[in-house]
Chains A and B, each alone.
Chain A
Amino acid sequence: MMNYNELTCHELKEMIDNQEITSEEIINSVFDRIDEVESKINAYISLFRDSALEVAKEIDKRIKRGETVGKLAGIPIAVKDVISTKGMPTTCGSKMLENYIPPFDATVITRIKEEGGIVIGKTNMDEFAMGSSTENSFFGCSRNPWALDRVPGGSSGGSAAALAADETVLALGSDTGGSVRCPASFCSVVGLKPTYGLVSRYGLVAYANSLEQIGPMTKDVTDCALLLSVISGNDPHDGTSAPFRKKNYMNALVDDIKGIKLGVPVEFFGEGTEKSVEKCVWDAIHKLEDLGASYHEVSMPHIVYSIPTYYIIAMSEASSNLARFDGVRYGYRAEKSGADWNEVFGITRQKGFGTEVKRRIILGTFALSAGYYDKYYLKALKIRTLIKQDFENALSKNLALIAPTMPTLPFKIGEKIENPLSMYMCDIDTVPINLAGLPSISIPCGFVNNLPVGMQIIGRLFDEETILRIAYTYEQNTSHHKEKPKI
């Protein structure tokens, strides 16, 4: 049997539409691969082989009858376990929700199902999306398929690892401070964080709700445009959802960037960035120049404050968003005979949350508390304005900005986990974009000693078309995305 699990969605779609293959064959191919490598990768928290095959067979019947089926009909998709799937476990990588089964689908899931996409499993992640390595998962760390002793990135590490290992065809992640782009870069796949408000957050378990978006994670830019077209667009269930109807991002896939002006923000390079990563990204920038674009260095002076600004805001919002986990209405509940409500809350949250989550809730509570609110939270919101303005200036003269996605190559498991601040510093290139709400895509741009490097293409608000076009042009003229790891 041909390895259908190794193909992209658009390649498989053509074969399904021509009735050359069935969805059942694709699902079986993916699950055979999962059986083969999952014990080494640990990409998944839950798998749904039986229900996936049931849906696949139903779609195959409809295709045979000549019925019109959706844009994703018959295609398997892995979903980060922070996104609600009705009737299927949604743990957020946490003991707190280990047995939680949502009674509703997130809007992105409803839309995927409407187009015939098949959810095959829920992927591993840093607990409540807090982390950059997937080491903070209650279910153990996922491994980078390119080097099993290294992290796949986080917090959507499971989704990226599953794609790189061909344990799925499509995937979803979520990105609050880089959680789609970081693992995409570390695993050599495509990951896009949409403009804030483009994709509905209804059903996304909230960590920092002024910063986060669900994003497509795929094997190439074409699949990314396709999945984005399905999940994006206004949703009345989400009050922060932008008032735009759905767009067809496939029209953005044009192999032409002649005359496009690209900005290269100097603060994303230099100190703190590994030399080999810098070289890789600069080679990519020169390739874009060969393809007809021009680049200009720009300065964004407030970027240097991004990490504290992001973390103060994110931790503050997290302390509020995670207050709902008290063991009463859902989730884990610790038992202590004779305990009153404060004691039950206290031990439930002590035992149910992992260390990083507790750290962030405490820092966030501190930053919002009386006497400290102005000094930390309000101050961070003002610096956020300055960072947003830096981007507006840079993007007024350039259509997009190019930068590394990560300052380092994928690091070893255990290397940074004991020092929280060293882990936070991994996010220097990704958090500024969440603060400004802009769209950004990470695509593979090379390898150093067989370890992946990703390039970030940052666009203007709601201009996903431009970043997809640049990404597509680069991809069509290079072959990094065709490389596969030997597991």
Chain B
Amino acid sequence: MAKYKTISQEQIEHVAWLARIELTENEKRVFTGQLNEILDYFKKIDEIDTSKIKPTFHVIDLVNVMREDKVVPSLSRKDALKNTPQKEDSYIKAPKIL
């Protein structure tokens, strides 16, 4: 059980909205308990002083790996749309926006 709440159910609902996942009422409840337990354990990272340490974003030193700006064959439109759940002609049908 969490010692005290790092994240409230309201915060979890907000984060779920940011992630565009509609949680069920049960999930909201269960996640609040579980995520607090996990975040409680994650607090361990506060033990060390990293004020003078640089972050590691990549483990090998590669920067801006680019190719020549040349047109080469790519995926056909037909292949690209093969897995599209809803389409019309050569368009992907998106859900209503307005």
B71 in the interface, Cβ–Cβ < 8 Å? no
Residue interface bits A336-370, CB-to-B below 8 A is 1, else 0 = 00111111111101100101001101110110010
Of A47-55, A143-151, A278-286, A379-387, the one contacting chain B is: A379-387
Q: Give chain B residues whose Cβ lies under 8 Å from the Cβ of A210.
A: 57-59
A433, chain B: closest CB distance, angstroms? 11
Partner of A345, one of B11, B20, B35, B83: B20
- Smallest CB gap from B21: residue in A: A349
If the complex has contacts A349-B20, A365-B19, are A328 and B95 also in contact, measured as CB distance less than 8 A? yes
Query: B23 contacts A358, CB within 8 Å?
Result: yes
Distance in Å from the Cβ of B25 to the closest Cβ of chain A?
A: 12
Least CB distance from A371 to B in Å reads: 10
Identity of the chain B residue whose Cβ is nearest the Cβ of A239 in the assembled complex: B65
**Could you tell me if A197 and B60 are in contact, using CB atoms closer than 8 angstroms?**
yes
Chain A interface: which size bin? 35 or more
A355 and B44 alpha carbons, distance in the complex (Å): 25
How many Å lie between the Cα of A99 and that of B84 in the bound state?
A: 11
| In contact, B59 and A103 (Cβ under 8 angstroms) | no
Residue on A with the closest CB to B43?
A308
Write the chain B residue with the least CB distance to A311. B42
Contact of B15 with A366 in the complex, beta carbons under 8 Å: yes
* Residue among A304, A309, A353, A386 making CB contact with B21, cutoff 8 Å: A353
Bound together, the chains give a CA A197 to CA B58 distance in angstroms of 10
Chain B contacts for A350, CB-based, 8 A: 21-24
Once A330-B83, A362-B35, A379-B45 are accepted as A-B contacts, the answer to whether A385 and B60 lie under 8 Å apart by CB is no
Q: How far is the CB of A298 from chain B (nearest CB, A)?
A: 19
Q: Is A64 an interface residue (CB 8 A)?
A: no
In the bound assembly, the distance between CA atoms of A244 and B50 in angstroms comes to 33
- The reply to whether A359 and B60 contact each other, CB–CB distance below 8 Å, is no
In the bound complex, do residue A329 and residue B84 qualify as a contact, i.e. CB atoms below 8 Å apart?
A: yes
Interfacial residues of chain A within 290-348, with CB under 8 A of chain B in the complex: 302, 304-305, 307-309, 311-312, 319, 323, 326-333, 338-347
The answer to whether the Cβ of A76 comes within 8 Å of any Cβ in the partner chain is no
From the candidates A307, A339, A437, name the one contacting B59 in the complex (CB within 8 A).
A437
Task: Given A103-B75, A239-B65, A365-B15, decide whether A333 and B86 contact each other with a Cβ distance below 8 A.
Answer: yes
CA distance A437 to B41 in the complex (A): 24
Contact, CB under 8 Å: A308 / B42 = yes
A303 to B55 alpha-carbon distance, docked (Å): 16
**Residues of B contacting A347 in the complex (Cβ-Cβ under 8 angstroms):** 22
Give Cα A307–Cα B18 distance, bound, in whole angstroms.
25
B contact face: mostly helix, strand, loop, or mixed: loop
Residues of chain B from 1 to 31 with CB closer than 8 A to chain A in the complex: 7, 11-12, 15-16, 18-24, 27, 31
A110 to B44 alpha-carbon distance, docked (Å): 43
Q: Known contacts being A103-B82, A326-B20, is A242 close to B60, with CB within 8 Å?
A: yes
> Is A421 interfacial (CB 8 A cutoff)?
yes
B22, chain A: closest CB distance, angstroms: 3
Contact of B38 among A339, A349, A421 (CB under 8 A): A421
Q: Are B55 and A385 in contact (CB under 8 A)?
A: yes
Mask, B71-92, CB within 8 Å of A = 1, is 0000100011011111000001
Also in contact, A361 and B95, with CB within 8 A (given A330-B84, A381-B55)? no
CB distance from A107 to the nearest CB of B (A): 15
Known: A100-B83, A420-B38. A362 touches B15 (CB 8 A): yes
What's the least CB distance linking B48 to chain A, in Å?
7
Q: Is the CB of A361 within 8 A of B21?
A: yes
Q: Are B56 and A384 in contact (CB under 8 A)?
A: yes
**A436 contacts the other chain (CB 8 A):** yes
Partner of B82, one of A101, A302, A388: A101
Cβ-defined contact, B65 with A359, below 8 A? no
A346 neighbours in B (Cβ, 8 Å)? 20-22
Contact of A369 among B15, B27, B57, B86 (CB under 8 A): B15
B57 touches A349 (CB 8 A): no
Q: Known contacts A328-B94, A349-B20: does B7 contact A366 (CB below 8 Å)?
A: yes
Contact of B60 with A196 in the complex, beta carbons under 8 Å: yes
Complex Cα–Cα for A339 and B94 (A): 11
Which residues of A lie under 8 Å from residue B79 when comparing CB positions?
Answer: 103
Q: Which 3 A-B pairs have the closest CB atoms?
A: A437-B59, A381-B55, A346-B22
B residues touching A (Cβ–Cβ < 8 Å)?
Answer: 7, 11-12, 15-16, 18-24, 27, 31, 34-35, 37-39, 41-42, 44-48, 50, 53-60, 62, 65, 67, 75, 79-80, 82-86, 92, 94-98
Query: 5 A–B contact pairs at CB < 8 A?
Result: A330-B85, A331-B85, A333-B85, A340-B98, A346-B22
